[in-house]
């Protein structure tokens, strides 16, 4: 597996990481612990060194799974986790935002225990909290870094101005935001800001929450425990309208003797040398397919063809319901 450095930080990770959320949260009921442990070990065996989790996934059980499974590889892998939600005791309530400095410290201490590590490799603010100035957030993480409890500071779904303000207090190693051929919002302001400041970019949902694999169409249905059942972009009408993107990926995949998913990931890798996507999966054959994208070389002609075709396609449907959309891109 090829490696990449996230911006100017020196943090080196596998070109393609592994998003672990779906193993415990979001896409139906939690998967079997032994099976997911085997998958995580299989990822390490295949050269993946970059793993993404968060306290809110479950909550808590995803960090515990990742911590236990990756304990034998401590020091050889990079584990990213996140803070920024107030996880209540009532499972019927959605967590609110909470990035108060004292809460950040509490989360860090708890995550260290669940991950079974002495230091958190990369600690992201999961969503920007409008109630807490980003300077206070960055200052709290800076203190944790000085104490040796955190190595690197990250932001998730933050806008350009927030990134700049945070950077002025504590250098930001990476931004994690949704980015793919069907979510290109970061290209306008965020990616130029990251390039200017020397910050790495970690796209989540690089396969469009599964849509860009080409394995879905308007007849695909989702269980109520699958959060895609609540997303505007996954209505039958939107999936039918967005099939043009799958057709595009399929044409390029045929030319390159690859799969649509591999083309979608290779396209991301070709955008900047400091981009490391984190596709999630719970299946070994999908993991191997995703990893294979690092070997797919898209030429300038391929990229031009993709750009020309994609520019003619209007993606239908918002990526989140309005309430969640408000929590992104500040």
Q: Where are the beta strands (DSSP E) in 111-167?
A: 120-125, 150-156
For residue 124, the number of C-alpha atoms closer than 13 Å in the C-beta half-sphere is 25
Residue 57 among the catalytic residues = yes
User: What gap in Å lies between CA 309 and CA 311, rounded to an integer?
Assistant: 5
Beta strands in 159-212 (DSSP E): 172-178, 200-204
| Given 57, 124, 179, 204, the catalytic residue | 57
The CA distance from 35 to 39, in Å, is 6
Report cis status (omega within 30 of 0) of the bond before 59. yes
Q: What Å distances lie between residue 267 and 28, 244, 281, CA to CA?
A: 29, 17, 19
242 in Cβ contact with 218 (< 8 Å)? no
What's the farthest any 2 CA atoms get from each other in the chain?
A: 54
How many Cα neighbours within 13 Å face the side chain of 119?
A: 16
Count CB neighbours of 300 within 10 A: 8
The three-point CA angle 314-315-316 to 5° equals 110
Q: Which tokens is 84 given?
A: 């920024």
Is 289 within 8 Å of 261 (Cβ atoms)? yes
Q: What amino acid positions are annotated as catalytic residues?
A: 57
């Amino acid at each position: 597996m090829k490696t990449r450095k996230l911006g100017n930080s020196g943090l080196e990770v596998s070109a393609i990481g592994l998003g672990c959320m779906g193993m415990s949260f979001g896409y139906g009921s939690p998967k079997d612990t032994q099976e997911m442990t085997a998958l995580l070990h299989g990822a390490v065996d295949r050269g993946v060194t970059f793993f993404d989790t968060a306290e809110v996934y479950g909550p808590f059980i995803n960090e515990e799974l990742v911590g236990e499974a990756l304990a034998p590889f401590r020091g050889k892998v990079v584990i990213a986790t996140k803070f920024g939600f107030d996880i209540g005791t009532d499972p019927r309530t959605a967590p609110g935002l909470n990035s108060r400095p004292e809460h950040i410290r509490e989360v860090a201490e708890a995550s260290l225990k669940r991950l079974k590590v002495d230091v958190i490799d990369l600690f992201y603010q999961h969503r920007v909290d409008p109630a807490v100035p980003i300077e206070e957030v960055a200052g709290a993480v800076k203190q944790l870094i000085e104490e040796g409890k955190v190595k690197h500071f990250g932001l998730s779904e933050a806008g350009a101005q927030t990134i700049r303000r945070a950077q002025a207090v504590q250098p930001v190693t990476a931004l994690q935001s949704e980015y793919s051929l069907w979510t290109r919002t970061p290209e306008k302001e965020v990616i130029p800001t990251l390039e200017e400041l020397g910050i790495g970019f970690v796209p989540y949902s690089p396969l469009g929450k599964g849509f860009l694999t080409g394995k879905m169409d308007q007849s695909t249905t989702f269980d109520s425990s699958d959060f895609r059942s609540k997303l505007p972009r996954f209505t039958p009408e939107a999936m039918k309208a967005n099939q043009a993107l799958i057709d595009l990926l399929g044409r390029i995949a045929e030319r390159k003797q690859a799969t649509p998913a591999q083309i979608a990931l290779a396209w991301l890798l070709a955008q900047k040398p400091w981009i490391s996507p984190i596709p999630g999966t719970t299946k070994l054959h999908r993991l191997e397919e995703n990893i294979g994208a690092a070997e797919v070389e898209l030429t300038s002609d391929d990229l031009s063809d993709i750009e020309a075709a994609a520019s003619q396609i209007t993606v239908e449907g918002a990526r989140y319901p309005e309430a969640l959309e408000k929590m992104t891109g500040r």
